[in-house]
Copies of this chain bind each other. A is one copy, B any other.
Amino acid sequence: MKIKIIGTATTKFGELWDKSLEDLLREAVDGALRNANLEPKQIEAVFVANKAAGSYENQHHLNALVSQFFPHHPPAIRVEAACASGGLGIVTAEHALLADQYKTVLVVGVEKMSDLSASETTFILAGAADNTREYGSTFPALYALLAQSYEAKFGSQREYLSAVAVKNHRHALTNPQAQFHKEITAQQVAQSQLIADPLRLLDCSPISDGASAVILTTKQVSHKPQILGYGHAQDSLDLAGRSSLTTLAATTQAVEQALKKAKIKRSQLQVAEVHDCFTIAEILAIEDLGFFPKGQGGQATLDGETTIGGKIVINPSGGLKACGHPVGATGVKQIAFLAEQIQKGTYQYALAHNVGGSGATAVVHILGAS
């Protein structure tokens, strides 16, 4: 059974103070329906990916909220897996399709984060960690621990971390939905405010509002991007339980599952959207996904191997770093963006990599032209 992506839409990502959670959801849903040229009634079920609307604005029950946009109130399910909510929302929709419960479904991911202060949002984001064994940790602090472990093994990463940020800001210039359209220099990254050593302000993805939707079908359609396979793996939620702090084992497992299901070789992949919530996360990702040997992801980035013309284009959307990171939307946006690129003919095979917490949940999708 083949799953095709027949509609996509992503709102502008950013600090969208004039838009509510519901505005963002409606814009993405309506956009995907228009893009797929479908009537609302043709959607048989809805999957909603969101991390924390309950914490942000006490709106639980998002499945029902989105279902009521449709005149026929289709069955709807909300999935949450911290920052991997989007990727796992798509997996959950795939399960329903592969189980032949529905033929055509819509997945929408959303987060509305900018209405609270940065410290309140940092607290809510920390809910993706283990609140017993990592109590009080913030995500910059947890990723700083990963960066420190990595530097202890492979030496200072400053110029490499900066290269990730510079590249992703440059990529975002061509993505109209991106939060930032501003080139930055390595010097600006290296001199930006220290957040959690060695991570600086410009190493961090921003706080963002946004939504993204995709429509998936198992009906026969031509010339539409296809989901070739997915992988979904977990690791210990708290860092202390991990076998390594320089590899995200969930990523390595998820990509192997996805490649096996997709029946393609890693070398056929031309592009990947990876989970660069912090610059160190992109270096870990491109190594753990097997694109570069461990310890060499930073140099490869500096050498231009992860931009247009390099070995593999990483985060052409700008990634979480520059496109923005409305948490529940990110995993859906990765798929929507890559499907649009495949549809345009820019790439034939693409990978999306979505991570929850500091690597406790990893979801990898492989897409291909059909």
User: Hey, which bits of chain A sit against chain B, CB under 8 A?
Assistant: 20, 22, 51-52, 54-55, 57-65, 67-68, 73-82, 88, 91-92, 94-101, 123-124, 126-132, 232-238, 241, 250, 356-357, 360-361
User: Are B131 and A59 within 8 A (Cβ)?
Assistant: yes
- The count of identical subunits is 2
Q: Pick the residue among B79, B94, B250 that contacts A79 (CB under 8 A).
A: B79
**3 tightest A-B CB contacts, nearest first:** A98-B99, A64-B360, A61-B82
User: Are A76 and B234 within 8 A (Cβ)?
Assistant: yes
User: Are B101 and A234 within 8 A (Cβ)?
Assistant: no
User: Are A81 and B77 within 8 A (Cβ)?
Assistant: yes
Q: Pick the residue among B82, B92, B130 that contacts A92 (CB under 8 A).
A: B92
A-B contact pairs, 6 of them (CB 8 A): A61-B356, A61-B361, A63-B81, A65-B237, A75-B233, A78-B79
What is the CB-to-nearest-CB distance from A329 to chain B, in angstroms, rounded to a whole number? 15
User: Are A95 and B88 within 8 A (Cβ)?
Assistant: no
What is the CB-to-nearest-CB distance from A113 to chain B, in angstroms, rounded to a whole number? 13
Chain B residues within an 8 Å CB radius of A20: 132
What is the CB-to-nearest-CB distance from A70 to chain B, in angstroms, rounded to a whole number? 9
Chain B residues within an 8 Å CB radius of A97: 99
Contacts A58-B123, A77-B81 supplied; 11 other A-B pairs, CB < 8 Å:
A22-B132, A54-B127, A61-B82, A61-B237, A63-B361, A64-B356, A75-B232, A77-B88, A79-B79, A92-B92, A92-B95
Chain B residues within an 8 Å CB radius of A81: 61, 63-64, 76-78
Of the candidates A63, A68, A94, A361, the one having the most CB atoms from chain B within 10 angstroms of its own CB is A63
User: Are A128 and B79 within 8 A (Cβ)?
Assistant: no
User: Are B82 and A80 within 8 A (Cβ)?
Assistant: no
Cα–Cα distance between A80 and B65 once the two chains are bound (Å) = 12
Chain B residues within an 8 Å CB radius of A356: 61, 63-64
**A357 — nearest CB in chain B belongs to which residue?**
B61
User: Are A129 and B61 within 8 A (Cβ)?
Assistant: yes
Cα–Cα distance between A13 and B324 once the two chains are bound (Å) = 42
Chain B residues within an 8 Å CB radius of A126: 58
What is the CB-to-nearest-CB distance from A18 to chain B, in angstroms, rounded to a whole number? 15
User: Are B127 and A73 within 8 A (Cβ)?
Assistant: no
Q: Pick the residue among B54, B57, B68 that contacts A234 (CB under 8 A).
A: B68
Cα–Cα distance between A238 and B64 once the two chains are bound (Å) = 9
Cα–Cα distance between A209 and B123 once the two chains are bound (Å) = 24
Cα–Cα distance between A20 and B133 once the two chains are bound (Å) = 13
Cα–Cα distance between A92 and B24 once the two chains are bound (Å) = 25
Q: Pick the residue among B57, B60, B129, B250 that contacts A128 (CB under 8 A).
A: B60
What is the CB-to-nearest-CB distance from A256 to chain B, in angstroms, rounded to a whole number? 13
Cα–Cα distance between A175 and B123 once the two chains are bound (Å) = 40
Chain B residues within an 8 Å CB radius of A132: 20, 22
**A61 — nearest CB in chain B belongs to which residue?**
B82
Cα–Cα distance between A22 and B135 once the two chains are bound (Å) = 14
**A88 — nearest CB in chain B belongs to which residue?**
B77
Of the candidates A54, A60, A123, A235, the one having the most CB atoms from chain B within 10 angstroms of its own CB is A60
Chain B residues within an 8 Å CB radius of A101: 95, 98
User: Are A61 and B233 within 8 A (Cβ)?
Assistant: no
